[in-house]
Amino acid sequence: MIEVSHLTKRYGGHCAVDDLNFTVENGVIYGFLGPNGAGKSTTMNIITGCLAATEGKVDIDGYDIFDDPKEAKRRIGYLPEVPPLYTDMTPAEYLTFVARAKSVPAGKIEEQLKRVVSVTGLEDVLDRLIRNLSKGYRQRVGIAQALLGDPEIIILDEPTVGLDPLQIIEIRDLIKSLGKTHTVILSSHILSEVQAICDQVLVINKGKLVACDTPQNLEKLFAEATTYELTVKASAIAVKDTLEKLEGIESINITAQEDDRCDVTVITTANAGKMDEKLSFALSDARLPVLRLEQKKTNLEDAFIGLTTGDGKPQGGKKKNVETPDDGQKQGKGGDPA
C-alpha cells in the first residue's frame, strides 16, 4: 500500500506537484492520467525515491521513502519514462546486474531471471545486445528489470509511448497480467489506454489530483448530466415556455436563428434518465416542430477534458467521487481485469 500525503514539489517558483493526497490499495491497477506536464513523472519519481519532495510524505507499506529508503525501495519496481538500459550489455547480463544490485540472494537470481524473462517474453533476445533491440523489446527489458527483486508494487511511467500499435497491445496485455499478482501504477496521457487497462484512474492536472475513480464511474459521472441539442421551428420564447415546464432540466440555452428557427441546448440534471422522448413530446404537444434532436454522447474523453480544463465541471466531478469511493472500488474489482 502506498500512502501519499501533502506531497509538494517546487522547482524555483514553479509548482510541479501541489499538495497531492491519495492512497494506493494492494492488488489494483491504477492509471495516472493527465496532460503533458501535469506532474505525473515528477510524482512517480518522488514515490520511487528518485527525487526528493519539497514537502509531504510517501509511505510504502509503512516505510517512509525518505527516512527508510532501502526498505521502501525494495517494495517497488520502477520503469522510468526512458528505460534505464545499459545498451552495451545483453538483456541476460543486464538483468543479472540489476538482480544483484537489488541484492537478490545469489541462489535466487537464476530462478527470478527465468520467471521475469518468461513473463515478459524475452527468451529469444536474451543474448543480443540491448543496443540492437527494437523499442518494444527494450520496453520489455525495462519492465523485466522492474519485476526483479519481487516487488509488490510496479510503477510504470508511460510504458507504451513510442511503440507501434501491435507492441502497444502486447505491453497492455502484459501489464494486465501483472495486475493479477501485483499492484500496478502506470501513467499515461492516452485515455483509451487507461480505460482498457486500469481499475482505478487518478486524474492529475497542474500538479493537483482532480479525480480518483473507476473509468466506468468517471464516464457515468458525465453521462448522467446529458446534453441534448435541438433545432426547433418556433420562436425562442415559445420554446423556452414549453421546456421550462418539464422536470429534470438543469439549464436551457436558446439561440434564435433566421426564418423562425432556434437552436436549443438542453442539459438535464443528474439522474434524470433519458429525456429525448419527453422533450420531443413536449414540443410537439405545443405544436412546435422539432427539426433535429441529438444526444451528445459523453465518454471518458469528455470527462478528462472537463476535469483538466477547469470549466466548472471539475468541482462537480471531484465532489462526486469523494462521496462514492467505495462504490468505485467495488466496481473496479468486480469488472474482469483481464
Partner 1 sequence: MKAIYERELDSQFNGLTGYLYGAFMLLAAGFLVLIVNLSSGYTQFEITIYYLGYVYLLAIPILTMRSIAEERHQKTDQLLYSLPMNMTKIVMGKYLALLTVMAVPILVICLYPLVLTSLAENGAIVYGPAYGAIVGLFFLGAALTAIGLFISSLTENMGVSMGLSVAVFALLYFMGNVAELISSDKGASLAAFAVLGLLIGLILWLMTKNITFAGIATAVLEIALVVCYILWKDSFSGLFAKVIEQLALLNRFSNFQKEIFDINSIVYYVTVAGVSLFLTVQAMEKRRWS
Q: Which of 88, 173, 241, 260 binds partner 1 (CB under 8 A)?
A: 88
Q: Is 245 in the site for partner 1 (CB under 8 A)?
A: no
Q: Is 161 within 8 Å of 81 (Cβ atoms)? A: yes
Site string for partner 1, 38-57 (x = CB under 8 A): ----------xxxxx-----
61 binds partner 1 (CB under 8 A): no
Amino acid at 140: R
Residue 92 or 272 with smaller CB distance to partner 1: 92
Q: Which residue of 7, 28, 38, 78 would you call a contact of partner 1, by CB under 8 A?
A: 78
Cell numbers that stand for 181 in this block: 499478482
CA distance 115 to 120: 9
Determine if 85 is a binding residue for partner 1 (CB under 8 A). yes
Q: Taking CB under 8 A as the rule, does residue 67 contact partner 1? A: no
Closest distance to partner 1 from the beta carbon of 49 (Å): 6
Stretch of 96-104, 161-169, 191-199, 216-224 contacting partner 1, by CB under 8 A: 96-104
Question: What is the total count of residues that contact partner 1 (CB under 8 A)?
Answer: 30
DSSP-based three-state secondary structure for 269: coil
By the 10 Å C-beta count (0-12 exposed, 13-18 middle, 19+ buried), 14 is classed as: exposed
Q: Is 86 in the site for partner 1 (CB under 8 A)?
A: yes
Q: What is the DSSP letter of 272?
A: -
Supply the DSSP string of 191-260, one letter for each residue. Answer: HHHHHHH-SEEEEEETTEEEEEE-HHHHHHHHHHS-EEEEEEES-HHHHHHHHHTSSSEEEEEEEE-STT
Determine how many CB atoms are found less than 10 A away from the CB of residue 131.
12
- Assign 160 to helix, strand or coil: coil
According to DSSP, residue 129 is labeled -
Q: Given the complex with partner 1, which of 71 and 301 has the nearer CB atom?
A: 71
Nearer residue to partner 1 within complex by CB, 70 or 245: 70
Binding of partner 1 by 15 (CB under 8 A):
no
Nearest residue (CB) to partner 1, 154 versus 234: 154
- For residues 117 and 163, give the distance between their C-alpha atoms in angstroms, rounded to a whole number: 20
**Using CB under 8 A, which of 2, 98, 264, 288 touches partner 1?**
98
Closest separation in Å from C-beta 81 to partner 1: 8
Residues that bind partner 1 in the complex, under the rule CB under 8 A = 11, 48-52, 69-71, 73-74, 76, 78, 80, 82, 84-89, 93, 97-98, 100-103, 145, 149
